[in-house]
Amino acid sequence: MSYEISLQPGNHHFRADADETILEAALAAGLLLPHSCRDGACGACKGKVLAGEIDYGNMTEGTLSQEEREAGYALFCCARPRSDLALQARTVSRAGDVPVKKLPCRVQRLQRLAPDVMLIDLKLPASESFQFRAGQYIDVLLADGRRRSFSIANAPHDAGHIELHVRRIDGGRFTAQVFDAMKEKDILRFEGPLGGFWLREESARPVLLLAGGTGFAPIKAIVEHARHTGMSRPMTLYWGSRDRAGLYLDELARAWQDSLPGFTYVPVLSEILPEDAWTGRRGLVHQAVLDDLPDLSGHEVYACGSPAMVDAARDSFTRTRGLPEGQFFADAFTFAAPTN
């Protein structure tokens, strides 16, 4: 059975079968909703059911509280329709003319950026054109049919390759392969580009970039794209990490201050080690923003990092600093459960 779905903002309409998730149906209709993990773990796709009945599906405990369910919220990557629906998402964009493709690629470079961060440079087929927006991600397709999502760290004008920043996760099957077994010239397959996290170039608002750990990857793509296009809007980057090693491209970010007019970089560490010899900002990265900027009502915020960081930033920026909810764009990282 198929159901009619109406979606705000934008008054979009599409159909969804009873056996597909709302997110799957929206993506198939060319509509891009906020999302990241696709398995109910991160909460990035959380939206409101204004009318109609759904099956909530399987969710990670703690991602959607009972109070939120009672208030009408659902995770669109898990929920399936059981009637016609009226829905509200944080943001809705159209995929436009950027096609999603499944392509092979070749590992052409591996570089250890930190003890637990690996840069993977993937060479794309010369016969295929791959378009994407700065900030989007790809899904690496594993042999058993599973997927691992990674943000693209290079800008669209440099589209002959894809740069990924992969953090090692204890017990993580794919990250163990990356750090222990992957070699140059290995072949991978991926699907992309995916996600609704990208720079809104039509805006004139000052840009606030917020990164946690390897959430720096899509932020790097956004900054490099802004530099390439000559964007003149002020940009401020707050990059947070536990220790100094986590700011794995700190020198690059500092260099942007010299080469990109109107760009400011603020690194923040939360668990400083004695050997870090750190004299810079300390604490949580979103708190550093709150300490520095009393009014965000005229800004546009792009945040990428852990769900906890993204949720804390969204709540505090909109609740206490006047940021309109529609001007907060986010990509939340989550990690697949370890498998044997």
Residue-wise pLDDT for 256-280, tens only, equals 999 899 999 999 999 998 888 999 9
327-337, pLDDT tens digit by residue? 998 876 654 44
Task: Please state the CATH superfamily assignment of the domain spanning residues 101-194 in this structure.
Answer: Translation factors (2.40.30.10)
Outline which parts of the chain fall under CATH 3.40.50.80: 207-332
Task: Return the residue matching tokens 């929920």.
Answer: 79
Pick the CATH number of 2-94 from 3.40.50.1820, 3.30.365.10, 3.10.20.30, 3.30.750.24: 3.10.20.30
Outline which parts of the chain fall under CATH 3.10.20.30: 2-94
146 exposure class (CB count in 10 Å sphere: 0-12, 13-18, 19+): middle
- Does 37 or 20 have the greater pLDDT score? 20
Q: Tell me, letter by letter, the H, E, C secondary structure of the chain.
A: CEEEEEEECCCEEEEEECCCCHHHHHHHCCEECCCCCCCCCCCCCEEEEEECCEECCCCCCCCCCHHHHHCCEEECCCCEECCCEEEECCCCEECCCCCCEEEEEEEEEEEEEECCEEEEEEECCCCCCCCCCCCCEEEEECCCCCEEEEECCCCHHHCCEEEEEEECCCCCHHHHHHHHCCCCCCEEEEEEEECCCCCCCCCCCCEEEEEEHHHHHHHHHHHHHHHHHCCCCCEEEEEEECCHHHCCCHHHHHHHHHHCCCEEEEEEECCCCHHHCCCCEECCHHHHHHHHCCCCCCCEEEEEECHHHHHHHHHHHHHHCCCCHHHEEEEECCCCCCCC
State the angle between helix axes of 250-259 and 216-229 in degrees (0 to 180), rounded to the nearest 10. 20
Assess whether pLDDT exceeds 60 at residue 338: no
Q: Are strands 147-151 and 80-81 parallel, antiparallel or unpaired?
A: unpaired
Q: Give the model's pLDDT for residue 336.
A: 46
Angle CA(80)–CA(82)–CA(85) in degrees, nearest 5? 85
Q: Give the model's pLDDT for residue 33.
A: 83
97-143, pLDDT tens digit by residue? 578 889 999 999 999 999 999 999 999 999 888 999 999 999 999 98
Average pLDDT estimate for 32-46:
78
Global model pTM greater than 0.75: yes
Q: Report the percentage of the chain scoring pLDDT > 70.
A: 96
Token digits for 200? 């809104």
143-184, pLDDT tens digit by residue? 888 888 899 999 999 878 999 999 999 888 899 999 999 999
Cis omega (within 30 of 0) for bond into 104:
no
Average pLDDT estimate for 198-225:
95
Outline which parts of the chain fall under CATH 2.40.30.10: 101-194
Contact 113, 119 (CB under 8 A): yes
Contact 52, 117 (CB under 8 A): no
The separation between the first and the last C-alpha atoms of the chain, rounded to the nearest angstrom, is 38
CATH of domain 207-332: 3.40.50.80
Q: Give the model's pLDDT for residue 334.
A: 54
